[in-house]
């Protein structure tokens, strides 16, 4: 969180704003940010020129972020959700959709600020899904706090505008400083804005798809944007325990399942091409010096 030692004003009635950055892009993390202060600081907060981060240039966002970080009357925090976590939650057996992930992140920030000892009385949130249902969900979890859930909250309430800046600058910096795990693949950083409609993003996805491993870890491979890129990829089969999959008819209690939910279909390759003999071996294994093991013990 922004404030490590709890400031004296935190024992007074406080308000908090919550907003996100990076919900739509196919690349990078989604970031939830919060800003909080004592209720009596609201008038001053209105004079700090916070605005919806999407309406500000990057230089202005950076300036405002540094200003709020140095303001002893403000506290802030972030929850950075890795693209791998987003994809895993949205594709796992018991799927968690993006709205629920967003709700959980926002509630996590409220919980963290309360656990710091801040006397939160009001929280303003930009809506995700139905505003009334979202407010009821938040109020049921935190009955001692008043919640205001509104569309365009980042342009209506300065405390949410500040949270918007916290989230956006944190995401921008995360992308700017992102260390690509797949350095052996000569991947460039020319991925554009990360939004599905960006031509640079589309070109980067096309260039950096892998027929077996899909995309680099920067990519949210659960996004529908990715599906068309997998039309020529390798079909992946694995075995699943019978008690985990109803309807299995295999005599040994196993059933082969196809990884089709992310578009791996059609393309086939002989197994010897990816064995550890070396010739024709997948570059992924070569660069990591991984060998095929067939005997154990």
Enumerate the known binding-site residues for a divalent metal cation: 19-20, 126
3 state DSSP class of 12: coil
Burial zone of 63 (CB within 10 Å; 0-12 exposed, 13-18 middle, 19+ buried): middle
239 Cα distance to chain centroid: 30
Instruction: Give the HSE-up count for residue 116: Cα atoms under 13 Å, Cβ half-sphere.
Output: 24
Cα 229 from Cα 241, distance rounded (Å): 30
Binding residues: 19-20, 126
**What are the beta bridge partners of residue 126?**
150
- Between the alpha carbon of residue 41 and those of residues 1, 14, 44, 101, the distances in Å are 19, 9, 5, 31
Cα 56 from Cα 292, distance rounded (Å): 52
Of 169, 165, 164, 157, the closest CA to residue 39 belongs to: 157
Q: Tokens for 147?
A: 């919640």
98 Cα distance to chain centroid: 9
């Amino acid at each position: 969180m922004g404030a490590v030692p709890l400031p004296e004003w935190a024992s007074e009635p406080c308000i908090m704003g919550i907003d996100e950055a990076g919900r739509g892009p196919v690349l990078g993390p989604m970031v939830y940010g919060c800003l909080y202060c004592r209720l009596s600081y609201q008038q001053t907060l209105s004079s700090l020129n916070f605005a919806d981060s999407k309406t500000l240039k990057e230089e202005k966002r950076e300036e405002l972020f540094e200003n709020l970080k140095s303001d002893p009357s403000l506290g802030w925090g972030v929850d950075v959700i890795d693209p791998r976590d987003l994809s895993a939650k949205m594709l796992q057996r018991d799927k968690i959709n993006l709205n629920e992930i967003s709700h959980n992140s926002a509630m996590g920030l409220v919980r963290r600020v309360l656990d710091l000892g801040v006397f939160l009385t009001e929280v303003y949130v930009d809506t995700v899904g139905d505003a009334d249902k979202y407010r009821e969900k938040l109020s049921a979890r935190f009955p001692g706090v008043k919640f205001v859930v509104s569309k365009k909250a980042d342009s209506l309430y300065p405390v949410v505008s500040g949270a918007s800046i916290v989230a956006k600058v944190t995401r921008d910096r995360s992308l700017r400083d992102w260390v690509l795990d797949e350095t052996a693949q000569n991947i460039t950083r020319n991925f554009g804005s990360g939004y599905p409609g960006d031509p640079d993003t589309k070109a980067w996805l096309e260039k950096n798809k892998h027929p077996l491993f899909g995309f680099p870890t920067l990519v949210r491979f659960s996004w529908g944007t990715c599906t068309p890129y997998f039309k020529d990829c390798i079909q992946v089969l694995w075995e699943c325990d019978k008690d985990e999959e109803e309807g299995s008819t295999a005599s040994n209690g196993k059933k082969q399942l196809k990884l089709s939910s992310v578009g791996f279909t059609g393309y086939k390759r002989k197994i010897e091409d990816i064995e550890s003999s070396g010739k024709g071996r997948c570059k992924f294994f070569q660069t990591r010096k991984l060998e095929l093991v067939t005997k154990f013990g």
